[in-house]
Amino acid sequence: MTWSINNDKCLRCGGCVSVCPVAALELRDNIIYDKKLCTLCGICDKACPVEAIKVTKQ
């Protein structure tokens, strides 16, 4: 199970941060991801206005 972001697609809007239930994301110059907090729920991917975030559950 992995979380990844494509920084070429990301528009730094912070939408993913606003919906993250566990405060695992933060917007600085790029999105900062805290693997320890993340539950891989995929809500950030759903909110993202572009296709920048990928959460794979395998």
Q: Which position has the token pair 């794979």?
A: 56
- In the complex, least distance from residue 1 CB atom to other proteins, rounded to whole angstroms: 19
- In the complex, least distance from residue 16 CB atom to other proteins, rounded to whole angstroms: 8
CA distance 45 to 52: 8
Q: Is the dihedral of CA 27, 45, 54, 12 positive or negative?
A: negative
- In the complex, least distance from residue 20 CB atom to other proteins, rounded to whole angstroms: 6
Beta bridge partners of 54: 4
What track of x and - describes contact with other proteins for positions 10 through 39 (by CB under 8 A)? -xxxxxxxxxxxxxxxxxx-----------
Residues near other proteins (CB under 8 A): 11-28, 43, 46-51
